[in-house]
Structure 1
Amino acid sequence: MFCIIKYIFELNYDSPYFSTLSLLKDSQLGAGMNMILIPSWLGVVAFLHLLVASLEDLKVILTLWPPDTMVFLGECLLLQCTVEGNSTFDWHYHWFRNEPNTSRIAKNPRHMLSGGSYSITAVTREDGGRYWCQAQPNDNATKTLLSRPITLNVSGLDPPSLTLTPNSRQLFIGETFTLKCPKNLTNSSIWVISQTLTSHLTKLSDSMTAKCSSQNNPDKSGTCVVFATRGHSGLYWCEGAGGRSNAIHLTISSGPVIMRTPVYSVPQGSSAVLSCHYRKGNYTKSTFFRNGVKAYGTETKLTLKNVGEEHEGYYKCASQDGKLESPQSWLSVKRNLFSGDEPASSSSGSWIWVVVSCIILIIIPLAILLIHHLRYKMFYTHSCWTIPGEETSAGGLPATKQDGTEVQWDLSWMEMSNLLYPGK
């Protein structure tokens, strides 16, 4: 419809339509054509009014999978933007974070955009916040529709873990994989959402290719054995009476080679094994790439020891002749308590230790020096003071008699001399 409107407004007097009108006008039909053009333009205005009204009836819906705004570290998420209403437009989508229409989401290798789908791999604390999507008709640069926001709150707690066997983000079509819900989610079911333009929630036990059991298990945990088909690519998680597990993303490939990387985050400081698997042929050597750059040797298995943040990224492998290449797969690293993802309370605690250290190393020695200084000053000053009412002569007092016995004198030495030697 926007194409029709655009065509109408771009008509000019050089077009054949207006040339014909000119000929008719020149042939004495101008007055009649003016009467015809008036209702024609009124019809165009009415059409435009109906078109604008139809746009106003449309609504943009933003959906989060799994449907829980409390998300876990290391899991995968999918945001889906759809336009509801009677619309035949082709839509273009924009994504915003924290502030609508002003702050578009910055590029991030863990964040992937595909039409109205926005996926996040291996959630970190930095992924928390409010998200919007904006829909815009491809033929109209001014008319846009904005969704309501969804707020992601990132939990620092370890989630109930969905177990996948084999532990790999990529699998071949025809492989069998097993999903098992955690024991603390009683009577739980496994859900899957395929990452397509028409994504919808499906209970995995409803699939014809999955054998799932819940009530018959002794531990009351849901288990599904799945024969992989292309339709099984997507998000998986468990839901039960106690909540939900973390969500993982699987890619089912029909290609000749896949890259097996752990589906869960690898703890920092531990080891990780990455392997290159070929559907056919006996390949003993492969070339590995990290973020598109050749970085490793030529074995089909790559062991990373003492994993750190520098190892995180997208990995892929290829045959040595370069003819066979796997899709890329993300390797996630789980930070420890002292990494960049540590809570703010730990940071404030470190400042407390800094202050305490300063007190011990600086203030206490200064206090000791000050106490010594005051004690020395008091002792020196006290030795220079005289006792009030007590005077001593320059000659001093005799201590003993001639026989050596101690004599206590009550008179001064001068008065005693006068008594002993009056003639003098």
Structure 2
Amino acid sequence: MVLVSLLLGFAAFILHSAMLKELPAPVVSVWPPGLELYSGESVFLQCKMESNSTLTWTYQWYKNTSKTPPTTSHRHSVSGDSYSITAVKREDAGSYWCRAEQRESNVVTEARVVLNVSGRPPPLLTLTPSTRQFFAGERFTLQCPASQSASGWKLRHFSPGRPDRITVDQKRTCPPLDGAIRANTSDGCVFTAASGNSGLYWCEGAGGRSSAVNITVSYGNIILKTPAFAVAEGDKVVLSCHYKIGNQGKTIFLKGNEGEIFTSNSSSSDKAINWTTENVTPKDEGLYRCVSQDGKMESPASWLSVTPDRGTWKWIIVTCSIVLLCLIPLTVWLVKCHRCPTLCTSSWWPLVKDDVPAVPLPATKQDVTEVQWDLSWMEMSSLLDKQLYPGT
């Protein structure tokens, strides 16, 4: 009986080892595709096991060499097999690990992807109106970079809730996809906002891809419209809270965990309440939402991206360069002085003690004490001997 148990255990071990050898690693997909991201855009990572197994897999995400899951924040969020980053920054570059685990068979496998954040400005995708949120039924237009329209740009769409991708070839009429129609005045495509329109949009061409924008379509009664792309420091920014059926008194604007930042009184007929920042700064960047006075209506959160003023950095660099140019000669001189002090005194300080011209002292009348001290040493010694030893 013991022998049979050992044989069964050994057979299970061999079978498990064979399964591990044949088990493929998970595949990490990046949307928009490519390992180079642009500052300010959104990115979605998806981890999937490409196997015909009907077993359930669970997924865990890590960044770089960390052994603990990344902390979710306003910009970073994890949902099952998906990892999303809003408004990509330089510090988001690095290795992202996906760990797939099958608990029933105790199988664990990993895969990673390395993301880089480019400092180059991308070809611009145009969104009109420029906002991240739309009510269902509203229309918006997407247009690939006009200056390179002849190079075969294609508009692409990815929705995290749908596994398929949508491709629109701009050289042809836009297909009737979720209400998409051909624009009459441009080469872009006009969409009627619907549930299938939410997600990422970007353009692909022979030279790479354009910037990407993330659009949210809401079926609720209130949304907050923020600029779809990053704004520059110092710009005027308007956040607009839109009601589908009209406002109910006060509208409260909230930022992240800071709470209320602005409250507006309006009539019940107003459908758009604005909050304006005349001179936006990087401190204004963050996640915003608006709420009705009674708290029954709250918009989905929307991110405002602010690009620091590069001119300020240029002045800082210039100032540091001037300081360094002044410090280098001073440092060299101090080193020379330490090694050869006479070099510094003779070359840098011409009026040293030996070179000062002698100036005659003014003539004065000497008193007795001065006359006595003018006597020679021998005479003074003789006088002292006579006073101390009178018989000599």
Q: TM-score range by the shorter chain?
A: 0.7 to 0.9
Residue correspondence of structure 1 range 19-34 to structure 2 within 5 A: none
1:274/1:326 CA distance change after superposition, 3 Å: same
Alpha carbons 1:194, 1:234 under 8 Å: kept = yes
Question: Could you tell me which residue of structure 1 aligns to residue 181 of structure 2?
Answer: 211
Q: Pick from 49, 71, 78: which aligns with 1:83? A: 49
1:227 aligns to 2:227 (yes or no) = no
Question: Could you tell me which residue of structure 2 aligns to residue 64 of structure 1?
Answer: 30
Q: Pick from 139, 155, 160: which aligns with 2:123? A: 160
Q: Pick from 123, 136, 143: which aligns with 2:107? A: 143
- The two structures, once aligned, show a CA RMSD in angstroms of 3.6
Query: Which deviations, in whole Å up to 9, do the C-alpha atoms of 1:101-140 show, x marking residues without a partner?
Result: 6364344421121111111111111111222211112446
Structure 2 residue runs of 5 or longer lacking an equivalent are 169-173, 266-272, 338-342, 360-392
Which moves more between the two structures, 322-331 or 235-244? 235-244
Provide the C-alpha distance between the structure 2 equivalents of 1:163 and 1:237, rounded to a whole number of angstroms: 10
Structure 2 counterpart of 1:239, one-letter code: E
Q: CA deviation at 1:284?
A: 5.1
Provide the C-alpha distance between the structure 1 equivalents of 2:120 and 2:187, rounded to a whole number of angstroms: 22
Provide the C-alpha distance between the structure 1 equivalents of 2:119 and 2:26, rounded to a whole number of angstroms: 31
Question: Could you tell me which residue of structure 1 aligns to residue 325 of structure 2?
Answer: 356
Query: Which deviations, in whole Å up to 9, do the C-alpha atoms of 1:58-82 show, x marking residues without a partner?
Result: 3200111111222211111111111
Alpha carbons 1:62, 1:150 under 8 Å: kept = yes
1:274 aligns to 2:247 (yes or no) = no
Structure 2 counterpart of 1:309, one-letter code: P
Provide the C-alpha distance between the structure 2 equivalents of 1:230 and 1:188, rounded to a whole number of angstroms: 25
Which moves more between the two structures, 42-51 or 113-122? 42-51
Question: Could you tell me which residue of structure 2 aligns to residue 388 of structure 1?
Answer: none
Provide the C-alpha distance between the structure 1 equivalents of 2:32 and 2:67, rounded to a whole number of angstroms: 27
Question: Could you tell me which residue of structure 1 aligns to residue 349 of structure 2?
Answer: 373
Residue correspondence of structure 1 range 201-350 to structure 2 within 5 A: 201-204=165-168, 205-206=174-175, 208=177, 209-212=179-182, 222-283=187-248, 285-292=250-257, 293-298=259-264, 300-337=273-310
Query: Which deviations, in whole Å up to 9, do the C-alpha atoms of 1:234-285 show, x marking residues without a partner?
Result: 1000112332110110111111211111111121122211111112234453
Q: CA deviation at 1:312?
A: 1.3
Question: Could you tell me which residue of structure 1 aligns to residue 140 of structure 2?
Answer: 177
Percent identical:
38
Which moves more between the two structures, 158-167 or 363-372? 363-372
Q: CA deviation at 1:370?
A: 6.6
Paired residue secondary structure (1:80): strand
Question: Could you tell me which residue of structure 2 aligns to residue 74 of structure 1?
Answer: 40
Provide the C-alpha distance between the structure 2 equivalents of 1:133 and 1:262, rounded to a whole number of angstroms: 32
TM-score by length of 1: 0.69
Query: Which deviations, in whole Å up to 9, do the C-alpha atoms of 1:190-219 show, x marking residues without a partner?
Result: 1000112x5333204455221247xx98xx
Question: Could you tell me which residue of structure 1 aligns to residue 171 of structure 2?
Answer: none
Structure 2 counterpart of 1:60, one-letter code: P
1:379/1:48 CA distance change after superposition, 3 Å: closer
TM-score by length of 2: 0.74
1:314/1:138 CA distance change after superposition, 3 Å: farther
1:49/1:222 CA distance change after superposition, 3 Å: farther
Structure 2 counterpart of 1:115, one-letter code: G
Alignment: residue pair count: 336
Question: Could you tell me which residue of structure 1 aligns to residue 60 of structure 2?
Answer: 94
Q: CA deviation at 1:338?
A: 6.4
Provide the C-alpha distance between the structure 2 equivalents of 1:112 and 1:370, rounded to a whole number of angstroms: 69
Provide the C-alpha distance between the structure 2 equivalents of 1:370 and 1:266, rounded to a whole number of angstroms: 60
